[in-house]
Amino acid sequence: MPMESFVQVKPSSPLPKTGLINSQRQFPNGFLWGVSTASYQVEGCNENSQWAEWEKMGRIRSGDRSGVACDWWANAERDFDLARELGINALRLSVEWSRVEPEEGRWEPAALDRYRELLSALAQRGIRPIVCLHHFTNPRWFEEKGAFLYPDASLLFERFARHVVHALGDLCDCWVTFNEPNVYAASGYVLGEFPPGKTGQIGTAIRVTSVLAQCHLRAYRTIHELQPKAQVGWAQHYVVFQPVATVFDRWVAHLLNETFNETFLRLVEDGHLQFPLNLLDGNAGKVKGACDFVGLNVYNRLHVAFDLRNLAHMFGRIFVPKHVPQGDPGVERPYGEAYPKAVRAAVERVRPLNRPIYILENGVPDASDRIRPWLIVNVIRELHSLIREGHDIRGYFHWTLTDNFEWTEGWNLRFGLVQLDPKTQDRTVRPSGRIYAEIARSNALTPELAETYASEVPRPLAAQGS
Ligand code: BGC
């Protein structure tokens, strides 16, 4: 299919009047109904990244290992067939830097060939690819140098981006530079949950974010140099921080919002952070405006109360009340409130950037499909309203197609439209997969689906949260 049409799609077709639960919600022609994935989580046998080390160090809370994951390096095509059967017309995947450049300056043509096969396989199935250059994983050699704190990090990242786009550019013209720079920085330098496992280093996390913004800018320019018509953006993770009640709770929710949601976003929007964070934001001024679209990854609402003992969370106690809709719990704590209106908050926040918007991730951990149908239908209902209000939303990518290796949670949290047994590699489409297929195929949320799944709020899990 002509890739041109991918990026030119505009939500120009007039939408029928909707609003009542029993009316048909039609989406604009060319709307992308996708799924998102990440190399480390699906490919398997990724031995050469800092996450492989992290696994060896016993840092996966569930004790699991990624192993062959979803076996994509050998056979992603099996899942691409499933995606096509489900009516999915777009798929986001990431390229594993540690495969492409296993040692500094040594490029592995076989790895790039395999990515070419994947992108061709998607094209053969009528599925449009979005390729992400960095989804949390670094080559081991890059991590050993200090990762994005290494003075030449942005040059190294730019060189990697150039290689990838040079090799794959005829098969893809829509690129995500970084997946969730804020999650990478916060999890690695404040929460200690991702490598390098540092805790409480808020200043360092902001410095890392600033470097990621500079890497994004270099990649943005390089991609455009090689592919003038390419569409380049990043995937912004956005959390709604809900203060409990008092002015102190509100203050703390504001601080969390500023340091987590707003950092990378503001660098792209304004080229600098707000005082006093601008004292740490380095040389990111030229990043202003460097994106052709905004990708949004939206999952949760987190509740926040002021608590002097929680310095690491900027004096906020973050929790998920027991009574709110939520997916399966993590090994040590709840995952978050499943909150369809978070999508509205995120879309409204990025409107001033005046760029097309893709929802590049949204989902819930839910092995038994207890809440996923409700979430999908309500989020899509919200998206339809947002489009009717004039927001330029071009696609929705569910996280994820097949259960995959969920970072520190291992196989404990299941986000797939398709259930996977990692041992046998057997796959079973969940009911939510069928629901999503119905929406994707009809390019609409039908009254029947809305009526069946939108209104009944799923029963809360017993005894979760604090
Ligand atoms: C990440 C994914 C992850 C998902 C579910 C997102 O923030 O990009 O890699 O699997 O959340 O936790």
pLDDT tens figures, 149-162: 999 999 999 999 99
Confidence at residue 358, expressed as pLDDT on a 0 to 100 scale: 98
Residue 134 CB contacts under 8 Å (≥ 6 apart), including other chains: 94, 97, 157, 177, 178, 179
Please state the rounded mean pLDDT for residues 98-112.
98
Q: What are the E-state strand segments in 123-277?
A: 128-134, 174-179, 231-243
> For residue 6, what pLDDT is reported?
40
Using most ligand atoms within 8 A of CB, pick from 40, 404, 406, 417 the residue to mutate for ligand 1.
Answer: 406
Estimate the share of the chain in helix, then strand, then coil, as percent rounded to the nearest 5. Answer: 40, 20, 40
From ligand 1's centre to the CA of 433, what distance in Å? 18
| Inside any domain, residue 5 | no
Segment holding 185, helix H or strand E: helix 181-189
Atom of ligand 1 nearest to the CA of 180: 8
Atom of ligand 1 nearest to the CA of 179: 8
Q: Give the Cα separation of 270 and 276 in Å (integer).
A: 15
| Distance (Å) from CA 36 to ligand 1 centroid | 9
Beta bridge partners, 374, equal none
pLDDT at 457: 72
What percent of the chain stands above pLDDT 70?
93
Residue 262 pLDDT = 96
Rounded CA separation 294/298 (Å): 12
Q: What is the pLDDT of residues 260-298, one digit of tens each?
A: 999 999 999 999 888 777 877 677 778 999 999 999 999
Query: Is 243 part of a structural domain of the chain?
Result: yes
Distance from Cα 17 to the centre of ligand 1, integer Å: 34
Specify if 31 maps to a domain: no
Does residue 463 sit within a domain?
no
Distance 361 CA to ligand 1 centre (A): 8
Residue 234 CA, ligand 1 centroid: distance in Å: 14
Please give the model's pTM, rounded to 2 decimal places.
Answer: 0.94
Q: Yes or no: say if 398 and 408 are a contact pair by the CB < 8 Å rule.
A: no
Q: Give the domain range for residue 51.
A: 36-453
* pLDDT band (50, 70, 90) for residue 340: very high
Average pLDDT over residues 228-254: 97
Question: What does the mean pLDDT of the chain come to?
Answer: 93
CA distance 173 to 229: 8
Q: Tokens 């304004």: give the residue.
A: 270
Q: Is 465 a domain residue?
A: no
Q: Which atom of ligand 1 is nearest to the CA of 237?
A: 7
In a domain? residue 462: no
| The pair of three-digit structure tokens given for residue 18, joined into one six-digit string | 């909707």
Look at residue 19 and tell me whether its pLDDT is greater than 60: no
* List of E strands, 320-435: 337-338, 357-361, 393-398, 418-421, 426-429
Instruction: Give the pLDDT of residue 20.
Output: 43
Residue 440 lies inside a defined structural domain of this protein: yes
SS3 193: coil
Q: Which residue has the tokens 């449009």?
A: 128
Overall domain count for the chain? 1
Residue 105: inside a domain, yes or no? yes
Strand partners, 427: 420
Short-list 6, 14, 65, 13, CA closest to 41? 65
| Each residue's pLDDT tens digit, 423-443 | 999 999 999 999 999 999 999
CATH at residue 62:
3.20.20.80
Which amino acids bring their CB within 6 angstroms of ligand 1?
38, 41, 179-180, 183, 237, 297, 361, 399, 406, 415
What are the φ/ψ torsions at residue 35 (nearest 5 degrees)? Answer: -135, 150
**Nearest atom (ligand 1) to Cα of 235:** 8
Q: How confident is the model at residue 353 (pLDDT cuts 50, 70, 90)?
A: very high
34-69 pLDDT, tens digit each: 999 999 999 999 999 999 999 999 999 999 999 999
